[in-house]
Structure 1
């Protein structure tokens, strides 16, 4: 009986969600338009992911804006929000401060694609294309790994601070699976 309950728990917590990037606010005042999808899917953790993407900037990005991110994980029969912990999870950010984190060490994947690493270098009415270079997703401490696998929904809402208006909203649904250990079938390893 315990094995049946454990099996149902594992199956209900981890399914397969097709990758979806959805515009959840079709605003005429939008700041950016996003499009893209990972080449390797489902996403493997730890591991590499290549995400060719297109970002079109319609308005100045220096704001000030607030980015309200909600990260939800599927448990049993519904999604539940993960709290903000050490600036990861369902948190509120200054989007330019996030980009400025890269100011001194812009990843080569972004540099090779001429993708801006600070708000000051983003040009209005421009389309940026991120080439499918691999990004490495490192592993977590084993105590936290259980939360990294499964089906997720991440919603990002960009709010204009001066008016309180939501000017962008994107929802991202995806699956993260555990990386399989590499097995050696060499008879000399025995």
Structure 2
């Protein structure tokens, strides 16, 4: 998929489903003073002829401190228009005693199926509002539909605010895979690996 979509979904889904409690959530959440994301790594995991491909994604510094500043750049392409409904299947795993254990879906957090990422983006950035910076400056879209073509986000600075963590999301090593689909067809796949350390 285009870099904007993958980058937006990667960061938005991390923020929306890992660090922000769902409305009406019965889970236990805790405010943390500082979160560090260490050893961020990524790779495409889609088919060789995948319609949506992330070509580059760079995040710095390492570790990424929250709250704090993040510098990011990304590029990618999609050979098809991407519109609603745009499903995302997320698989989250945590290393426990040398084994990778699948984290279940708990109130939209963990290994979950999101039937329409377009709806998620509309909730985060309601229609009628400008896309946040620096997407707005570079004329990059932040909601569906995303037209086919190549996209690029030059190196840009973001501020990451304080975040809440679910009580079960403890310090450790995590792997997250997101599969993008539409109409039962896989469009692209992205794997992210990182370690979480929180105060």
TM-score (norm 1): 0.69
Long gaps (5+) in structure 1: 1-15, 180-190
Query: Match for residue 15 of structure 2?
Result: none
| Residue 111 of structure 1 pairs with residue 136 of structure 2 | yes
Map 1:123-142 → 2, pairs under 5 A: 123-129=147-153, 131-140=155-164
Task: State the structure with more CA Rg.
Answer: 1
What is residue 175 of structure 1 aligned with on the other side?
Answer: 195
Mapped to 2, the partners of 1:21 and 1:75 lie a distance apart of: 21
Q: How does 1:67-86 map to 2 (within 5 A)?
A: 67-86=88-107
Q: Is contact 1:44–1:177 with CA below 8 Å preserved after alignment?
A: no
More strand by share: 2
Q: Superposition RMSD on alpha carbons, in Å?
A: 2.7
Tell me the residue number matched to 1:55. Answer: 76
Counterpart secondary structure, 2:196: strand
Q: 2:110 corresponds to which residue?
A: 89
TM-score (norm 2): 0.67
**Matched residue of 2:147: which SS?**
coil
1:4 paired residue number: none
CA distance in 2, matches of 1:148, 1:127: 35
How many angstroms apart in 2 are the aligned matches of 1:134 and 1:148? 25
Report the CA distance between 1:135 and its aligned residue.
3.4
Are 2:78 and 2:148, in contact at CA under 8 Å, matched by a contact in 1? yes
Gap runs ≥5 in structure 2: 1-36
Q: 1:17 to 1:43 in 2, by over 3 A?
A: closer
Greater helix percent: which structure?
A: 1
